[in-house]
Structures are given as C-alpha cells and as structure tokens.
Amino acid sequence: MFKDKIIPLDIWFSQFVEWLVDNYRDLFQTLKWPVEQILTSLDKGLNAAPPILTICIIAVIAWRSTGMKMAVFSAFSMLFIGFLGLWSEAMTTLAMVLSAVIFCVILGVPLGIASGRRDKFEAGIRPVLDAMQTTPAFVYLVPIVMLFSIGNVAGVLATIIFSLPPIIRLTSLGIRQVHPELVEAAMAFGATKRQVLFKVQIPLAMPTILAGLNQTIMMALSMAVIASMIGAGGLGSPVILGLNTLDIGRAVVGGIGIVLMAIVLDRITQSLASKK
C-alpha cells in the first residue's frame, strides 16, 4: 500500500525554500544585520578584554548571586578552560549564547505575556512552540544556511529558534499562575490593565520567567556543537573536529569546556530566580 510516495512533501518544501531564497534573500539579510552587529560587538569585546578581568567579573557576579563557593568554582572553571587552550573559543561561545539569549528575551517575554493573558493566542502559538521544540535541530540547519549563509550569525539564528520556546512557555505560565484575586484587587483600586501587568503580574511571575531564562540559556549552550556544523566557531569546533578526525581527546576537551560554562551559567541564573 505504501510502496510508492504519494505526497511529495520534501519536493514542496525544497521548492518553497528556493522560492524564499530567490525572492526574499535581501529581507533575510536585513533580519540578519542586528544579530550580526550584537554578536560581533560581544565577540570582539570578550576576546579583547584581559582574561583575568573577565574571570574576576564572572566570579563577582557568581559571588553576589550565589555565594563564595560558586565564585571560587566559577573562577577555577574559567581558569581551567583557559589552561586547556580554549579561552578564545569559550569567549566566542559565550558571545553567541548571550546574543541568542538577548533576542530570545526580546521576542519571548512579550509573546509569553500575550500568551498568558489571551487564551486564543496561547492556543494558536502552542503548536508552533511544539514544532520548534520537537523538530530536530539538524532539520532547520539547511534552510538557515540557504537563507543566511554559514558562520557564527547562522549559528546564533539556529540557536534562537531552538532556545525560544522555554522562555515563552514559562513566561505564559508565570502570568497565568498569578492569583486572579490579586488582579481583581488591583483593578478594584483603579489600576489600569498596563499597571496591573507591570506592577502585579510581571513582578509575581518573575521567578518563573527567570526559570524560563535559565532553560533558554541551557538550550542555547546545548546548540554550541550543532551550530559548529554550519561554520559557527566556539567550543563546539573542537568537538566537531575531534569527531571528524576520531580524536577523542580533542572532543572531550571541548565537551568539558561546554559543561563547565553550562554549570556556571546555570547556577548563577538559578540563584537569581530563587531570590525573586
């Protein structure tokens, strides 16, 4: 019954992407510009800064947010990454993660608020988020390369798509978890919808929103290796190079760098969420 292909979906999708490339490539290059500017600025700044200064800043942030133990661990982790000869790659990865997270926050928080306050919007965006989270990252690497070419910017754009759903979902959840009586009380005292949102709902939902930010950062870091397959640099490059040359040592070293950076960022953002 199913020996022959009846629905040529692959051909249709290929033709659709080719049509986008032929007709709207300039538009996609325009969309690429702000990502490229932020990424380039962060990458140059982090790589130009003295490593000891960057380590001290990360340690101070960890100390203020988590405590002295985490500050020491953060400083040791960054020193260890530097001694492995991966400092430049680590800073590139950090720049890519920060760039992706900035755009995820800009896009995700407003969409999450809209989803939390409007049932119809939430019902409409849920299938899109499901598709974004369940579609293998390798699937949308090809159209991203066709539309935006290879390189760090394409890697960041792929990371944004992959990392955006958690912050939208958890922002929506946080808004919906605010007790309706608190909203009614605020409106009874004459608060406008805007005041209710910014003075009641968002402050009370902030721990959940920050939990979404934490998950977005972790997912962005998990894309480091996959993004390296389309020309993005960073800590994923040693892993890919080790895979291609069967050099297990090089791959493990790159993986250790990603793990240490993930632990530092995870603990810092988790602590910020728990303090709200």
If one compares 93 and 274, the residue with the highest pLDDT of the two is 93
End-to-end CA distance of the chain: 58
With bands split at pLDDT 50, 70 and 90, how would you rate the model's confidence at 275? low
pLDDT in tens, 157-192: 888 888 899 999 999 999 988 888 888 888 887 878
CA nearest to 92, candidates 231, 227, 233, 225: 233
User: Distance between CA 31 and CA 245 in Å, rounded?
Assistant: 36
Length of the chain: 276
User: Distance between CA 41 and CA 54 in Å, rounded?
Assistant: 16
Number of CB atoms found within 10 A of residue 156's CB: 27
User: Distance between CA 266 and CA 214 in Å, rounded?
Assistant: 6
Average pLDDT over residues 138-163: 81
What burial letters (b/e) apply to 237-246, b meaning 16+ CB within 10 Å? Answer: bbbbebbeee
CA nearest to 169, candidates 109, 102, 99, 98: 109
Residue 209 backbone zone (phi > 0: left; psi -120 to 50: alpha; other: beta): alpha
Computed from CA positions of residues 106, 110, 116, 118, in that sequence, does the dihedral angle turn out positive or negative? negative
pTM, full prediction = 0.86
Question: In this predicted structure, what is the pLDDT of residue 192?
Answer: 82
Mean per-residue pLDDT of the chain: 85
CA nearest to 140, candidates 229, 263, 50: 229
Computed from CA positions of residues 225, 126, 215, 90, in that sequence, does the dihedral angle turn out positive or negative? positive
Residue 274 has pLDDT above 70, yes or no: no
Average pLDDT over residues 38-63: 90
Q: Which residues contact 234 (CB under 8 A, 6 or more apart)?
A: 89, 90, 92, 93, 96, 152, 155, 224, 227, 228
pLDDT in tens, 205-252: 888 898 888 889 888 888 877 877 777 777 778 888 887 788 788 888
Domains of the chain: 23-47+87-275 (1.10.3720.10)
Residue 45 has pLDDT above 80, yes or no: yes
Contact (Cβ atoms closer than 8 angstroms) between residue 261 and residue 86: no
Residue 5 has pLDDT above 80, yes or no: no
User: Distance between CA 95 and CA 110 in Å, rounded?
Assistant: 23
Number of CB atoms found within 10 A of residue 189's CB: 8
Contact (Cβ atoms closer than 8 angstroms) between residue 52 and residue 36: no
Residue 276 has pLDDT above 60, yes or no: no
Question: In this predicted structure, what is the pLDDT of residue 110?
Answer: 92
